[in-house]
Amino acid sequence: MSGEILGTVATALCLLIGSGFIIVGVIGLLKFNDPMTRLHAPTKVGTIGIGMLLLASMIHSFVLGETSVHEILIMAFLFVTAPISAHFIAKVSIHRRSCDTPPAPPRDDTWSTLSAPEADRKSESTVQE
pLDDT, tens only, 44-100: 777 888 889 999 999 999 988 888 888 889 988 888 888 787 788 778 777 777 666
Long-range contacts of 33-42 (CB under 8 A, 24+ apart): 34/99, 34/100, 35/89, 35/93, 35/98, 35/99, 36/90, 36/93, 36/99, 36/100, 39/86, 39/89, 39/90
Asked if pLDDT for residue 109 goes beyond 60, the answer is no
Question: 15-30 pLDDT, tens per residue?
Answer: 999 999 989 888 888 8
According to the model, what pLDDT value does residue 82 have? 80
**Rg, the chain, Cα only:** 22
